[in-house]
Structure 1
Amino acid sequence: MKKIKILFFIYQMGGGGAARTLLNIINNLDRNKFSPVLVTLNYNGTYESEIQDDVAFIKLPTKRLSRSVFQLVRIIKNENIDLVFSTIPRVNTIAILAAKLSFTKVKTVVREADNLGGNWRTNLLLLGFGCMYKLSDQIVSLSEGVKENLVQRYKVKPTSIKVIYNPVDLEAIHEKIETGQVEPAFSEILSKKEKLIITAGRLVEQKDQKTLLRAFSEVTKKINSQLVILGEGPLKNELILQAKELNIQGCVHFFGFQSNPYVYLKNADLFVLSSKHEGFSHVIAEALATGTPVVSTECKSGPAEVLNNGEYGYLCAVGDADDMANKMLDILRLSKMEKKEMEAKGYSRASHFDAKKIVKQYEEVFEKVCFKP
């Protein structure tokens, strides 16, 4: 039986959740059935080194998404691609357009990963994306909340959407915990024997680390603790200034992007996500996989689904520093036995998102689309 040749298209294999998801799908695909080809724009991505050796990796000679259409068309024809898979709205529209312009029998599957929306201009743009999405053979949303948003804002039929949660590569996480090393500065923080709180994500408005800093400033008044922030972004200087204004700069540490965040998460007493909106929140599932308790905002729409409405972690109101601080304190004050129970429960939840299980769902979608008359 001929293998299905899949072209995976993304901006870059950078440090974001979309790239991590693609990496997990590609690396766990059944090679007896599928032959993966990865295509990115001309950027150097931090996850490139983790792509398996048998994956054909093509980097386009442009950093402009708009200039990639006809280059993708050539690849689809020259490589005899059976299916194009992409994620992120603008990338999805380019992928669909390239597939149509190839005038081949190639099929398309597009993935939507966030609850996008806002002012009338943004909502109008989403309607445009929706028109393009309707030309694809299958739409995948990574949570029920994202599916609902696709129906409401993109005007896509619910029957056109398949919900598949993000794959979490538990095996790779365990290996990285065993083999990984932390920065010396992090070891110094651990040696203080204080409670360690950690967060991870781009330093942007969506992730709302400003609320987390306000909440942490209240926590430190009651429990001696340290906050480690993993990630880079345009708000870094603002956050550093805010920490100084709150007089907590001595116990807030910016460690930048870490290709192996798991060895840091494993050593923390608590992981906190302060986002204003998410599609799924891959990092929550990863934190649970390291055995770290979680506090997250109940933002639309992923965290509540990942934590099953608070069964596997604590949920707090978006932008509410007091509520967040109280939930953080609740976990930090757990007894050793209660904390172990919570860690075990969280790990059991992470197993629901194991890449081996989730990728099989993707494989079923790919086969169904390719063999559809």
Structure 2
Amino acid sequence: MQKQHLAIVLKNLTGGGIEKRTLQLIRAFQAQDRPCQITLVLAHAVGECLAEVPEGIKIIDLGLPYESRLTDLFWRLLPALTQILRKLQPDVILSRLPCFNCLTVLAHRLGGGRSRLVLSEHTLPFYRLLAIEKGYTTTQTLPGLLPKIMLPLMQWTYPQADAIITVSQGIASELQQSLNLSEQQLTLIYNPVVDDNLMLQAEATVEHPWFQNADIPVFLAVGRLAPQKDYPTLLKAFAEVVKTYPAHLIILGEGELRSKLERLVQSLQLGNVVELLGFVTHPYAYMVRAQALILSSVWETFGTVLVEAMACGCPVIATDCNYGPREILANGQYGTLVPVGDTQALAAAMVEAIAHQSQSPPDRQRLQTYAQTFSVNAAVDRYAEILGL
């Protein structure tokens, strides 16, 4: 059987969820011996996950400046992507560009348009993200040209794709309403998260001294140090927790808010019980040992870290934000949901997790069994079907 050529378009290979899930998908295709040749097309070939690209995968670097602003990247990406797609002429294109999938549609058309084109949406539309993060109540008041043209551009380009994959029902509903898409144009495939590799990495040792004392619980948060994750609310909630019980908090992740969060840790007098350990490629061994994983986000589009934690048998506490946590946790059946930005509710949930530990310890096996709903094997067959591989 002749191999089909699949081109996967990504921004880069930093250690975010989209990048990790893409590599898991590639490894799964290889493990199943799918008859396809895979090329990774990157806007900029940088990131912690570059070293994890499986053998046999070709990488094409479009060479765009890594620190480009979103608006600069938007205008530079189109001609570069058009040129490479015209040259490659792959059988199938899978575009996993947060905010910029519409550019892949344009590049596909300008490059000849003979490939099957599948868009994979992992986040809110660009104009919605800007409105949320900048505090605007309506996207119409956003400054600049790009936010104003993005919605009509998406409404024109997205229907031209052969298929659109979303990672949560919330994102599917958002796209359906804002882009006037039908249910038939959207396919829900949960992120491929749980595989043998994850479970193997969860068995690694953790040398951190806080895990050597089982009498003092350690809470864990994993994610970028960015406004979306709302770590200030988590830190303020944890300051309330340690007034009642001795506890530790470890935050794994890196980002632009590190200095601000370090100052907040000191001002709350948490320097001896909170550590920001930076980015960790595989945080699963931490999850195995944690009292609970805390997701304090203002918004999510899926919440992969919740699935990773449950796969490791780690209880989870999450904000009931749009979108993902309520859907993943089955309306709270598999974890605790608290209101967004509610310091007291988050603190109370963490205190309850400590108080109930000795009386009714969490059923870690139940969490691990449920997490298989989000296994790589469950996702890869659906992806292969949509991609036509």
Per-residue CA distance 1:234-281 (angstroms, 9 max, x = gap): 111111111222221211100000111111112211100000111111
In the TM superposition, residue 61 of structure 1 has moved relative to its aligned partner by: 2.4
Alignment partners' CA distance in 1, 2:152 and 2:248 = 44
Amino acid at match of 2:201: K
8 Å CA contact 1:214–1:321 kept in 2: the answer is yes
| Residues 1-373 of structure 1: pairs in structure 2 closer than 5 A | 1-29=1-29, 30-63=32-65, 64=73, 66-116=75-125, 117=128, 118=131, 119-121=138-140, 124=148, 125-178=150-203, 180-182=204-206, 184=207, 187-193=208-214, 194-336=216-358, 338-341=360-363, 343-367=364-388
Alignment partners' CA distance in 1, 2:156 and 2:113 = 21
Amino acid at match of 2:139: W
Q: C-alpha root-mean-square deviation of aligned residues, in Å?
A: 1.9
Which region of structure 1 is more displaced relative to structure 2, 243-252 or 290-299? 243-252
Which region of structure 1 is more displaced relative to structure 2, 52-61 or 160-169? 52-61
User: How high is the sequence identity, in percent, across the aligned residues?
Assistant: 28
In the TM superposition, residue 357 of structure 1 has moved relative to its aligned partner by: 1.1
Q: In the alignment, what sits opposite 2:68?
A: none
8 Å CA contact 2:99–2:123 kept in 1: the answer is no
8 Å CA contact 1:12–1:19 kept in 2: the answer is yes
Per-residue CA distance 1:78-103 (angstroms, 9 max, x = gap): 43301111123443122111111111
In the TM superposition, residue 105 of structure 1 has moved relative to its aligned partner by: 1.1
Alignment partners' CA distance in 2, 1:355 and 1:199 = 23
Which region of structure 1 is more displaced relative to structure 2, 272-281 or 125-134? 125-134
> Any idea what SS the aligned residue of 1:234 has?
coil
Alignment partners' CA distance in 1, 2:155 and 2:353 = 41
TM-score by length of 1: 0.91
Amino acid at match of 1:144: Q
In the TM superposition, residue 131 of structure 1 has moved relative to its aligned partner by: 2.3
Q: Which segments of 5 or more consecutive residues in structure 2 lack a partner in the other structure?
A: 66-72, 132-137
> Any idea what SS the aligned residue of 2:272 has?
helix
8 Å CA contact 1:279–1:301 kept in 2: the answer is yes
Alignment partners' CA distance in 1, 2:258 and 2:275 = 11
Alignment partners' CA distance in 1, 2:359 and 2:91 = 52
Alignment partners' CA distance in 2, 1:130 and 1:259 = 36
Alignment partners' CA distance in 2, 1:336 and 1:164 = 38
> Any idea what SS the aligned residue of 1:93 has?
helix
8 Å CA contact 1:211–1:320 kept in 2: the answer is yes
Alignment partners' CA distance in 2, 1:104 and 1:158 = 24
Q: Which segments of 5 or more consecutive residues in structure 1 lack a partner in the other structure?
A: none
Alignment partners' CA distance in 2, 1:262 and 1:59 = 30
Alignment partners' CA distance in 1, 2:192 and 2:360 = 28
8 Å CA contact 2:42–2:60 kept in 1: the answer is yes
8 Å CA contact 1:127–1:153 kept in 2: the answer is no
8 Å CA contact 2:99–2:124 kept in 1: the answer is no
Per-residue CA distance 1:65-85 (angstroms, 9 max, x = gap): 533434433433443301111
Alignment partners' CA distance in 1, 2:356 and 2:300 = 28
TM-score by length of 2: 0.88
Alignment partners' CA distance in 1, 2:202 and 2:323 = 29
* Alpha carbons of structure 1 residues 24 and 101: separation in structure 2 relative to 1, 3 Å: same
Amino acid at match of 2:112: F
In the TM superposition, residue 159 of structure 1 has moved relative to its aligned partner by: 2.2
8 Å CA contact 2:45–2:63 kept in 1: the answer is no
In the TM superposition, residue 355 of structure 1 has moved relative to its aligned partner by: 0.4
Per-residue CA distance 1:296-316 (angstroms, 9 max, x = gap): 001011011111111111111
* Alpha carbons of structure 1 residues 325 and 318: separation in structure 2 relative to 1, 3 Å: same
